[in-house]
Amino acid sequence: MGIKGTAWKFGDNIDTDAIIPARYLNTSDPAELAKHCMEDADPNFVKNMKPGDFIVADKNFGCGSSREHAPIAIKEGGISCVIAKTFARIFYRNSFNMGLTILECADCDRISDRDELEVDAKAGVVKNLTKGEEYSVNPIPPFMQELIDDGGLMKHVAKNL
């Protein structure tokens, strides 16, 4: 059994400035960052999404600067995971460091905006409940899954000291 929620669909090359605009980087407070998550890509995103929902994108999600604020804003906003065809390398690593689940899915272009999904990251399956389809996702390496389970790199290190 996985996590159920709504898909919020975005396109290719969603950069970190679209995820959390630079004008809000004068704070590192996760709750404040979450208020502005995806604001420039969809001004109503934070108002309409619900905790447990999913961001779904195409290629190169999280490109641009290396700011850790982007995965923090997504996670604190209540998004359970981000599903994309590919992720920018630094965003990929920052997401695990912050404890945000991200999944690479070759078939995520079959997911439409507002489709209802059920995601089982450990089993490597995304079920599209709206369309009655099922997609495979690349498995999360065990060490990276430990980071997520522990709430991010810093909490993982603290736990293992």
How confident is the prediction along the chain (161 residues), in pLDDT tens digits per residue? 689 999 999 999 999 999 999 999 998 899 999 999 999 999 999 999 999 999 999 999 999 987 899 999 999 999 999 999 999 999 999 999 999 999 999 999 999 999 999 999 988 999 999 999 999 998 888 888 999 999 999 999 999 88
Give this prediction's pTM: 0.94
2 phi and psi angles, rounded to 5 deg: -110, -165
Give kind and range of the element (H or E) at residue 126.
strand 125-128
Nearest CA-CA partner of 52 in 137, 134, 116: 116
Give the type of residue at 17. Answer: D
Q: What angle do CA 81, 87, 93 make, to 5 degrees?
A: 80
CA 97 to CA 155: how far, in whole Å? 9
